[in-house]
């Protein structure tokens, strides 16, 4: 990994620590997903704090985020270590997410209020405009809100909590696949089917549409990940 040039993150004194930690986590996630950091590499707080020009506190928070998203794990006597991100592991994560989201979709179709259905439709229409404009950043944020509406529309706190936990683990993967304009267009078309099923109170159709949606997202992610992934930097050559 290359050290940053110019101003360090800590030079921006007005930036809250939460923002710093999220920025550090996002960069580390990208490097892990692209294979720039080998599985088994220890992510050292001191070295990372030096690299990013910050104190250890935002680095510690960033590592918590990376661990929560299943890209690293804490090992006794070693600290935070990068996990092996394989196609099989990605497939397992998306499989679990698809089942949880499908369940939320089925109950949302049966339990959402008229106001909740209307808000979901408005969100979908706004996202279609974002996709047409090619605004990937806005689409990603709106997409998270769209799916959260479905989780909470299930009116089951436990389902919603499980879905949000799985979505947090998958967020680095989903973020990378939504950056593609073609994928945004396909996602919008898939959302059409989901919203239509929920509006019709058709639980089975909503469940099936969400499963197909997550399968499509997994295929897009794996395709892009395989194309972009590079040979990992040997662990001994890394400066962490």
pLDDT single digits (tens) 3-24:
444 445 555 445 556 688 989 9
Superfamily for domain range 87-226: GntR ligand-binding domain-like (1.20.120.530)
Give the H or E element holding residue 79: strand 79-82
Q: Is 40 in contact with 232 (CB distance < 8 Å)?
A: no
pLDDT single digits (tens) 137-164:
899 899 999 999 999 999 999 999 999 9
- Residues 222 and 51: their CA atoms lie apart, in Å, by 30
Residue 201: which region, alpha, beta or left (left: phi > 0; alpha: psi -120 to 50)? left
Residue extent(s) of CATH 1.10.10.10 domains in the chain = 9-84
| SS3 call for 74 | strand
- Residues 171 and 165: their CA atoms lie apart, in Å, by 10
What is the CATH code for 9-84? 1.10.10.10
pLDDT at 119 over 90: yes
Is residue 178 very low, low, confident or very high in pLDDT (cuts 50, 70, 90)?
low
pTM, to two decimals: 0.74
- Residues 124 and 192: their CA atoms lie apart, in Å, by 8
- Higher-confidence residue of 92 and 116: namely 116
Average pLDDT over residues 26-55: 90
Residue extent(s) of CATH 1.20.120.530 domains in the chain = 87-226
| SS3 call for 17 | helix
């Amino acid at each position: 990994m290359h050290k940053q040039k110019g101003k360090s993150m800590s030079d921006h004194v007005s930036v809250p620590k939460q923002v710093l930690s999220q920025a550090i986590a996002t960069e580390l996630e990208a490097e892990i997903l692209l294979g720039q950091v080998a599985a088994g590499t220890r992510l050292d707080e001191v070295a990372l704090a030096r690299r990013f020009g910050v104190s250890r506190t935002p680095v510690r928070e960033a590592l918590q985020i990376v661990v929560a998203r299943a890209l690293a794990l804490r090992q006794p006597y070693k600290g935070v270590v990068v996990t092996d991100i394989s196609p099989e592991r990605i497939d397992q994560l998306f499989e679990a997410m698809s089942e949880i989201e499908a369940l939320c979709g089925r109950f949302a179709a049966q339990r959402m209020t008229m106001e909740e259905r209307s808000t979901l439709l408005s969100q979908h229409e706004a996202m279609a405009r974002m996709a047409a404009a090619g605004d990937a950043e806005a689409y990603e944020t709106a997409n998270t809100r769209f799916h959260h509406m479905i989780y909470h529309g299930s009116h089951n706190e436990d389902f919603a909590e499980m879905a949000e936990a799985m979505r947090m683990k998958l967020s680095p993967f989903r973020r990378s696949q939504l950056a593609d304009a073609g994928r945004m267009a396909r996602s919008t078309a898939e959302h059409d089917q989901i919203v239509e099923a929920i509006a019709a109170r058709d639980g089975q159709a909503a469940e099936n549409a969400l499963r197909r949606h997550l399968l499509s997202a997994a295929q897009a992610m794996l395709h892009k990940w395989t194309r972009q992934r590079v040979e990992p930097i040997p662990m001994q050559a890394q400066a962490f």
